Amino acid sequence: MTLAICAQDISKNYNIQNVHTRALDTISLEISAGEFTLLTGPSGCGKSTLLAVLSGMTKPDRGTVQSGDFVLTAASDQERDAFRLHKCGFIFQGFNLFPGLTAVEQVQIPLDYLKIPEERARQRAERALDSVGLSHRKHLRPAEMSGGEKQRVAIARALVKKPAILFADEPTSALDRENGERVVAILRAIAHRIGSAVLCVSHDLRLFSQADRILEMEDGKLRRDLRRPRT
Ligand SMILES: Nc1ncnc2c1ncn2[C@@H]1O[C@H](COP(=O)(O)OP(=O)(O)OP(=O)(O)O)[C@@H](O)[C@H]1O
Ligand SMILES: [Mg+2]
């Protein structure tokens, strides 16, 4: 299995107005390409902080994070921005779509940043929308779409550049059961078909049966690491 990210002994503390929080406490972890990994644990245990550290958005106080030869924890802000642009996709609970843009325009944005020519970018954006079952919605703006459709646009935007690593933070929590299951099936397919390492934070127990691996956190520590044989 190819390793997408390797983290060693990472710790992260927050000190705000004399309140000291140990958000991550000496966590070591490897995330593999082609695997759909679920990250779970109680509110405040450090899941979002862990995603931020693994994607280079936040620097840990101690420890190293590495992707291939690239050491995120030794890199400059600019180098980490470039790493995220070229290697990572992100999906969040609140969709984060631009109100004025149509679905296909939203999905095209990352390709514009990557300076992919307009015509090819448009074709790839349309294919990505097709892969999440939204070809027929490509000209709609967010206000004209359901929550499930908006989340699928956000997924298409994250997968259109075929990211090595896809980070998702509670992507199903604003969705009903049917849409939630659909989103999870798409995330799983991204890992298995595109070969991305998909790391998804979720509280939703119903999603567990879909994961290749389940990581459980508590109080900033990794408590359990359960890998399932592929079916
Ligand atoms: N920017 C920050 N400044 C200060 N404290 C923070 C900050 N971000 C997170 N924390 C604290 O760090 C701890 C871990 O937060 P984190 O957001 O990683 O938890 P989480 O597991 O994602 O929780 P949830 O399931 O509620 O989203 C919490 O106690 C939180 O209050
Ligand atoms: Mg969180």
| Domain containing residue 195: CATH number | 3.40.50.300
In a domain, 127, yes or no: no
- Atom of ligand 1 at shortest range from CA of 217: 21
Kindly provide the residue ranges of all beta strands, DSSP E only, lying in 33-69, ordered along the sequence. Answer: 36-40, 62-67
Distance 169 CA to ligand 2 centre (A): 7
Q: Give the tens place of pLDDT for each residue, 162-186.
A: 999 999 999 988 888 888 888 889 9
Q: Which residues line ligand 1 (CB under 6 A)?
A: 14, 16, 21, 23, 41, 43-49
Q: Which residue type is seen at 55?
A: S
Tally of structural domains, the chain: 1
Across the strands, what pairs with 50?
none
In a domain, 190, yes or no: yes
- Atom of ligand 1 at shortest range from CA of 42: 25
Decide if 109 contacts 153 (C-beta within 8 A): no
- Indicate the Cα dihedral angle 99, 174, 230, 84, nearest 10°: 40
Distance 122 CA to ligand 2 centre (A): 33
In a domain, 63, yes or no: yes
Q: Give the tens place of pLDDT for each residue, 88-100.
A: 999 988 778 999 9
In a domain, 138, yes or no: no
- What is the spatial distance between Cα 142 and Cα 153, in angstroms, rounded to a whole number? 9
In a domain, 129, yes or no: no
In a domain, 128, yes or no: no
State phi, psi for 170 to the nearest 5 degrees.
50, 55
In a domain, 110, yes or no: no
Strands 88-92 and 213-218: unpaired
Q: What are the residues whose beta carbons fall under 8 Å from the beta carbon of 97, sequence distance 6 or more?
A: 106, 142, 150, 153, 154
In a domain, 150, yes or no: no
Q: Which range of residues forms the domain containing residue 44?
A: 3-96+163-227
- What is the spatial distance between Cα 45 and Cα 37, in angstroms, rounded to a whole number? 17
Distance 136 CA to ligand 2 centre (A): 33
Q: Within the chain, where are the H helices? A: 47-54, 77-87, 103-113, 118-131, 147-159, 177-189
Q: What does the pLDDT profile of the chain (231 residues) look like in tens digits?
A: 688 999 999 999 999 888 999 999 999 999 999 999 999 999 999 999 999 999 999 999 999 999 999 999 999 999 999 999 999 999 988 778 999 999 999 999 999 999 999 999 999 999 999 988 999 999 999 999 999 999 999 999 999 999 999 999 999 888 888 888 888 899 999 999 999 999 999 987 767 888 999 999 999 999 999 998 766
State phi, psi for 55 to the nearest 5 degrees.
-95, 0
Q: What are the residues whose beta carbons fall under 8 Å from the beta carbon of 65, sequence distance 6 or more?
A: 5, 6, 7, 8, 10, 53, 54, 56, 71, 72, 73
Instruction: Report the nearest-CA residue for atom 30 of ligand 1.
Output: 44
